Each structure stands twice: as C-alpha cells, then as structure tokens.
Amino acid sequence: MSTTRSLDLNGLYHELVDLLGPSGWWPADSKFEILVGAILVQNTNWQNVDKSLDNLRHATNFDPQAIADLSIDALQTLIRPSGFYRNKSRTINGLFSWLAHANFDLDAVAATDPQRLRQQLLALPGIGEETADAMRLYVFDQPTFIADNYCRRLFSWLGQDFQTYAKLKVHTHEVDGWDLIDAQEFHGLIDNFGKTVKTPEDFAQSPLAQFTLTLK
C-alpha cells in the first residue's frame, strides 16, 4: 500500500531543485527586457514573445527612453507576433511612461514598500496580479510568490486546489521572506515542471506524486 508524505513550500522547492536543477528563468539581457516580456507573454507562448522581443531589440536595444518614445502604431507593429498587440502596446506605453517619472531608475522604484509597489503596478492599464508579481520578483528584486496557472495545477495535484490567483496567494506569503534567488528559482522550477508534466497521468508518473502539500 503506497503512502504519501507531506511537504511545505520550502520542501517542495527543494524537491523541485533535486528533480530539475537550475531553472535559468527569467531569460533576458536586461531588466527592461524582462518588463516587456512579462507583458508580452500574457495569453501566448514564449516562442511568439521571442519574435516580438527580437523586433524591439533591433528597434530600441531596450533603451527605456527609446521604448517610451515609440508611437503606439510603431509599438503595435513590433510586438504583433505576440498577439493582442493593441492592448499590449497600451500596457507597455503606460508602464514606460510611469517609469519615466522615476527617470527609469529601477533601484529607486524597487525601494518602494512591496505592497505599495504592487498596488502602483496594478493601477497601470493591462497589468494584473500575475504580471505585477513577476515584475516585482524579477525586476524590482522583491521576493514573492507567483500563483500562476502552472502553479495552481501542480498544487491541485498535491491536494491544494485553489481556483483563483488571489485565493492561493494568501497562503504563500512566507515566500516574501525568502532569499531573492530562492523565490525566483521556485517560480522558474514550477513553470519548468508544468511545461512537461501537463496531465494527471503525467503527474502520477512523476516523483512528486508521492507527496501532498501543506500550506499555512
């Protein structure tokens, strides 16, 4: 008779490290590229995002002022491969206009209280909870947990089923106190796991199937 063992978030993190090794996430040459990528990846796959990022790299070299100076029409043309290019162009334009008020000083923005920064990002057009948290984690160096679809699917298989981002987020605030690199790796590992383990049948064959997850 098989038995399951209980894991907390820290235990799950270390099981994923042992299983997958370093995540290599987020793939980018600069934090401004990460900001754009976090918007472009909404409702599409990374292959399409890469095409848009290449276009922007050639046009602006991800210089923030150059991105802010792009017209909406020019921006739409550059990011068209990512889909939803009208909405995403407005979001990028709004974000970089907001950053311009801080002279594109990401360190100064990062010094903002985490919850206040989260609310400021959420107030920008087209930026939801997942995107705001991804920006905080990978650009503004604020440890946090990203309760995305990959995560919620994995957690449901581990016995913790949450239907919304916000409902799961409430139970993961301990990650806010982790070292930055561990918080970043945790998200990358969960997403890398989710890209290959896609069904309950896949999960049943994975080493994580022997565990259940305990949340606070």
Indicate if the pLDDT at residue 41 is higher than 90. yes
Task: Kindly state whether residues 21 and 45 are assigned to the same domain.
Answer: no
pLDDT tens-digit map of 105-115: 999 999 999 99
Between 1 and 88, residue with greater pLDDT = 88
Last residue of some domain: 138, 157, 192?
Answer: 138
Task: Kindly state whether residues 130 and 53 are assigned to the same domain.
Answer: yes
pLDDT tens-digit map of 191-202: 999 999 999 999
Last residue of some domain: 109, 138, 167?
Answer: 138
Find the domain containing 159 and state its range. Answer: 5-25+147-213
Last residue of some domain: 86, 108, 138?
Answer: 138
The number of folded domains in the chain is: 2
Q: For the whole model, what pTM was predicted? A: 0.95
User: Can you give the chain as a three-state secondary structure string?
Assistant: CCCCEEECHHHHHHHHHHHHCCCCCCCCCCHHHHHHHHHHCCCCCHHHHHHHHHHHHHHHCCCHHHHHHCCHHHHHHHHHHHCCHHHHHHHHHHHHHHHHCCCCCHHHHHCCCHHHHHHHHHCCCCCCHHHHHHHHHHCCCCCCCCCCHHHHHHHHHCCCCCCCHHHHHCCCHHHHHCCHHHHHHHHHHHHHHHHHCCCHHHHHCCHHHHEEECCC
